[in-house]
Amino acid sequence: MTTVSREKKRGWFKEEFGNPERRTAYYMVLPALLIILIIAFYPVLSSVWLSFHQATLTQTGSFNGLENYTELFKNSDFLDGLFNTVVFTVVSVFLEFIIGLGIALAINRAFRGRGLVRAAVLVPWAFPTVISAAMWRLMFQDQVGVINTIANNLGIISEPILSDRTLLLIATILVDVWKTTPFMALLLLAGLQTIPGDIYEAARVDGANVIQRFFQITMPLLKPTILVAVLFRTMDSYRAFDLFWVMSNRQLESLSTFVYKGVRISQLQFAEGNAAAVFIFVTAFLLALFFIYGLGMQTSTED
């Protein structure tokens, strides 16, 4: 298998398919692959194809190049959604990371009742988003809402929170931080626990202080985990639908709510909604590529 490249290739093929056990493995994954092709790849390609057409609900219509996309960037609802989504993603992921890291560092230490605290921290994350969104909406509401009442009495704000788009966006971010910080903390905690304790001991012997140990040991060793956690959260926030839809009762647009309105409620914005869906898909994909290649995220445990 070391002579010529063709030999090599054939060797590879032989190795993969000549071995009966490997062949069986391929037979085993074949149904899954087929299903993925049919239910995942086909719809994605189909909507990309549709996004270049004058599509309506009932028919595909004629090819119109990038017109759907240029229309999209003239649509104020879409731009609203894009702005809200980007602000929401950047701010909430940043806050979640900072707070999550703090929590992870805190519960990484040994103390009495640590198991209980670790479990308790996860409670907000265990709620379905729709339910926590509805619950928080009630708390922000003007008649029975505890937060609105307190904020009004303290004089922080004088108007109902849900009636102001900026306050609503801030509230939505805070709810997301409340909800998903535990997830971030959990992921980071798992990363922290893989760092061997003797490295810290060695550093201490060498005279490194707490801050040096954090930046010289913890952060570099935690980097792979941080990248995975931040990527997960960024993707999630970027596609946020339920929180926006329920928390703001449709008053605050996100990219996903725009898509939903376009393809499900509207009669006329099908093409634009579809183009927006492709836009989300492509930008999310680029974001992931940036994490993997730009920031050097490890995607497998090999080598």
Partner 1 sequence: MTEKQGQSPEKPSGRRINRKDFLKIGGAGLAGAALLGVAGCGGGGGSSGGSGQIIFSFGPDTSGSLKKLVDKFNKQNKGKYTVKYREMPADTGQYFDKVRTQFQAGGGDIDLIGGDVIWPAQFAANGWIADLSDRLSDSERSKFLEGPINSNTYQGKLYGIPWFTDAGMLYYRKDLLEKNGFKQPPKTWDELSQMSDKVQKAENLKYGFVFQGSQYEGGVVNGLEYINSYGGKVLDPKDESKVVIDSPESAKGLAQPRSFIQDQVAPLAVTNYTETESQTTFLNGDCVFCRNWPYMYALAADPKQSKIKTNQVGVAPLPAGSAGSVSGLGGWNFYINAASDSGKQDTAYEFVKFATAPEQQKFRALNGSFLPTLKELYKDKQILDAVPVIKLAGEALANTVPRPISPAYSDMSLKMAEEFNKEFKGDVSPQSAVKTLQKELQQIADQAS
What does the binding site for partner 1 look like in residue numbers (CB under 8 A)?
20-21, 24, 27-28, 30-31, 34-35, 38-39, 57-58, 77, 141-144, 159-160, 162-164, 249-251, 261, 264-269
| Closer Cβ to partner 1, 3 or 166, answer by number | 166
What is the nearest approach in angstroms of partner 1 to the Cβ of residue 148?
Answer: 8
Cα gap 255→82, rounded to integer Å: 6
| Closer Cβ to partner 1, 234 or 269, answer by number | 269
What is the nearest approach in angstroms of partner 1 to the Cβ of residue 134?
Answer: 12
What is the nearest approach in angstroms of partner 1 to the Cβ of residue 202?
Answer: 43
What is the nearest approach in angstroms of partner 1 to the Cβ of residue 163?
Answer: 5
Phi–psi pair at 285, nearest 5 degrees? -65, -45
| Closer Cβ to partner 1, 70 or 251, answer by number | 251
What is the nearest approach in angstroms of partner 1 to the Cβ of residue 164?
Answer: 8
| Closer Cβ to partner 1, 268 or 282, answer by number | 268
Helices (H), 109-196: 114-121, 123-126, 129-140, 146-154, 165-192
The three-point CA angle 205-210-214 to 5° equals 105
What is the nearest approach in angstroms of partner 1 to the Cβ of residue 262?
Answer: 10
Cα gap 85→91, rounded to integer Å: 10
| Closer Cβ to partner 1, 55 or 95, answer by number | 55
Counting every residue written for the chain, the total comes to 303
| Closer Cβ to partner 1, 34 or 117, answer by number | 34
Residues 55, 46 contacting (CB under 8 angstroms): no
Of 171, 183, 184, 181, give the one whose Cα is nearest residue 246: 171
Cα gap 210→33, rounded to integer Å: 50
Cα gap 87→250, rounded to integer Å: 18
173, two tokens: 């971010």
Amino acid, single-letter form, for residue 34: L
